Amino acid sequence: MNDTVAEIPIKPRLHETRNGPAAAKEKPATTLSEHIVEIISDSGEGAQRCGQTFGAIASQMGNGVWTVEIIPAEIRPPARSVAGGSGNRIRLGSGRVTNGGNETDLVIAFNEQVLLGRVRTGELKPDCTILLESMWRESRDESIVTSYVETHDQLVKAGYKVIEIPMEHECKTVVADARRGKNMFALGMLCSIYSFDLQVAREQIALTFGKKGASVIAPNVKLLEAGFEWAENNLDFKYRIPAKRSTEPQIVVNGNTALALGVLASGMEICAMYPITPATSVSHYLSSVFEKVGGVVHQAEDEIAACTFAIGASYAGKCAVTVTSGPGYSLKQEGIGLAVMGEIPLVVINVQRGGPSTGQPTKVEQGDLMASIFGSHGDAPKVVIAPATIEDCFYSVITARKIAETFNMVVVVLSDASLGTSQQPFLRPQFSEAWLAPPIDQSEVPEGAKPYDWNPTTGLARRFIPGQPGGEHTLTGLAHDRLSHVAYDPESNEAGLRARSLKLAALQRTLKTPPVFGDPKGDLLVIGWGSTKGAIEEAVENLRAEGRKVSSLHLTFLQPMAPGLKEIMQRFKKVITIEGNWSDDPNGEIIDESNRRYSALAMLLRSRYLIDVDCWTEVRGQPIKPNTIQRVLLDKLKQR
């Protein structure tokens, strides 16, 4: 189906359209501090692999990189469809890149329909350079020709710098089936455009296709070289983004792989899961490596079984983990309540997606914070932490396991679809024995010791693990006393609730106040959590460069919250949270202070600290852009 072009907004023409072939071979490279590149194709044409490989090459070259997957919601969306574009977005920089950035500077598109998808969602800069596959101009299907030509002309008219490239034709000079190799041709063009070392690219391809052998590597390298050559000869521009190579080894993985590596490093032995987007890739990767170190990934029959299987494993051994996303997280609630009541350590990883219900499986949202803190009926105190970077994803699992076992609590790790699918290099971790879980206690329990001998100050009690002689008791989800006997008397019920709650306070006492990004006082404090950190700090940095008195604070611990937050907030005239969840627009026609729904973190901060915290949120299924945040903060600063 060919969509029409009527919806393209006409934008001011900033650059003349240039069509390539006449360009000179020797051309000076324009030096840039950063650039955002996209490669987009029909699903199955390999744009994602091209993007990932390009990101890896850029890392090898020493550039800061942040890559984000562009994922259609369906596995095989129809070819040439606006909603079916699949690909990758790579932000390259001279220094460290902390987020996906703003609009795209340069895009390679394999057809005009998938490109339209990006244009319509406002992802491209007004003067974005578009390298467009031109084969559609010669299609035998007239409707395709019409669509292509109309779209092309409209895009040119709208101010985009469109360059038509006969990718299919050029690839066919190298391989028979261009559909399967165009992505490497595109990769070659990108390497030329960004002045990358072709040899590094060849090596990266060898690494990417390593398992498949030389017969696969050779044609891909040929295509890479063809693309490189074509761009060198036919394009009249070239960029160079000076790189500052790290002197330390760096790891390049996405957030979901980092979470799985964290599971390995935490010493946990059992991961129980049920397939759910966008969390499943954590388990895919873990399944491929866990057995090598004696671990097991159990794919349970449903989310409830995954949670209760992990609870059973935790109860009888080391802390276990279950990995899920929104709908699965809802299903696990009764199990989580049981772990809270029985004081069984448990790590629950929730890679958040758009909700409620099935929502937007492949899109990012920070909608599960309240469900994580308050989920499950009754008072069910849990620890909630949110990684903010890819590196955090790795370490947060290690921290979660430790807290879970020290406090016999449920620890929820709130990642999201953006972190899950983004790549950013981080320092290769130095293995530490302290990461691992200690062997389970099988020592004899002293006579008279009680299974819930709650410390009156901290609420903590030593748990008895099956195998410990003298520790025999029946753990129950019913209200119970210190002997784990079912107890309905008022005193026992209160004692249990108090102890389980106190553990949060005991943990809170051990937390450090998070650092303020920027000055410790000023006009406006921005507070965020999770994957928005990079974008928020970039916006704050830009505003500070303009002389604005803005700082930001990013919370890793959402429950309990670290000490000292109120004192930080009080040093600013205004406080606002930026989050990827719903909040009512205060200017809405029927919205006022008595009915406005605040975002999750703002609500938590307002209720706990009695400070007038405002919020601004976006739920567009995409990472929030730094320039959007910048605009919002400027508005907030100007508000009286």
Which residues from 208-237 bind another protein, rule CB under 8 A? Answer: 210
The Cα–Cα gap between 312 and 485 comes to: 19
Q: How far is CA 75 from CA 121, 274, 277, 536, in A?
A: 21, 18, 12, 32
Smallest gap from Cβ 320 to another protein, in A, equals: 7
Does residue 95 touch another protein according to CB under 8 A?
A: no
Single out the segment in contact with another protein by CB under 8 A; choices: 111-119, 171-179, 220-228, 331-339: 331-339
**Least distance in Å: CB of 482 to another protein?**
15
At closest approach, how far in Å is the CB of 124 from another protein? Answer: 29
Q: Which residue of 476, 493, 542, 628 would you call a contact of another protein, by CB under 8 A?
A: 476
The sign of the CA dihedral 591, 593, 596, 598 is positive
> Rounded CA gap, 407 and 200, in Å?
48
Closest distance between another protein and the C-beta of residue 340, in Å? 12
* One-letter amino acid of 301: E
Q: Where are the alpha helices (DSSP H) in 195-251?
A: 198-208, 214-234
Query: Does 633 interact with another protein (rule: CB under 8 A)?
Result: no
* Side-by-side strand order, sheet with 550-555: 516-517, 550-555, 522-529, 572-579, 613-617
Q: In sequence order, what DSSP letters do the residues of 409-472 get, joined into one string?
A: -EEEEEEEHHHHH-B--EEPPPP-GGGSPPPPP-SPPPTT--TT---TTT---PPP-TT-TT--
Least Å distance between CB 211 and another protein?
10
Residues 262-291 that bind another protein (CB under 8 A): 264-265, 267, 269-270, 272, 289, 291
Provide, rounded to whole angstroms, the least separation between the CB of residue 436 and another protein.
Answer: 6
C-alpha closest to that of 156 among 101, 207, 189, 119: 119
Q: Which is nearer to another protein, 265 or 502 (CB)?
A: 265
Contact flag: residue 292 with another protein (CB under 8 A) = yes
- Please state the closest distance from residue 470 (CB atom) to another protein, in A: 7
Residues 390-449 that bind another protein (CB under 8 A): 425, 428-429, 431, 433, 436
Tell me the C-alpha distance between 283 and 323, whole Å. 8
Per CB under 8 A, contacts with another protein among 334-373 are 334-335, 337-338, 342
Among 26, 142, 301, 593, which residue interacts with another protein (rule: CB under 8 A)? 301
Out of 470, 520, 564, 588, point to the residue binding another protein (CB under 8 A).
Answer: 470
| Contact of 273 with 300, CB cutoff 8 Å | yes
Q: CA 615, CA 594: separation in Å to the nearest integer?
A: 15
Please state, in angstroms and rounded to a whole number, the distance separating the CA atoms of residues 582 and 369.
11
Q: How far is the CB of 638 from another protein (least distance, A)?
A: 43
How far apart (Å, rounded) are the C-alpha atoms in residues 44 and 30? 33
Whether residue 392 contacts residue 256, with contact meaning beta carbons closer than 8 Å, is answered with no
Q: Among residues 14, 214, 486, 591, which is the contact residue for another protein, using CB under 8 A?
A: 486
SS3 258: helix
Give the range of 146-154, 240-248, 405-413, 548-556 binding another protein by CB under 8 A: 240-248
- Mask of contacts with another protein, 53-92, x by CB under 8 A? ---x--xx-x------------------------------
Q: Which of 9, 469, 520, 564 binds another protein (CB under 8 A)?
A: 469
Nearest to 235 by CA among 199, 185, 192, 191: 192
Least distance CB 437 / another protein (angstroms): 10
The reply to whether 453 sits near another protein by the rule CB under 8 A is no
Q: Give the number of residues in contact with another protein, rule: CB under 8 A.
A: 75
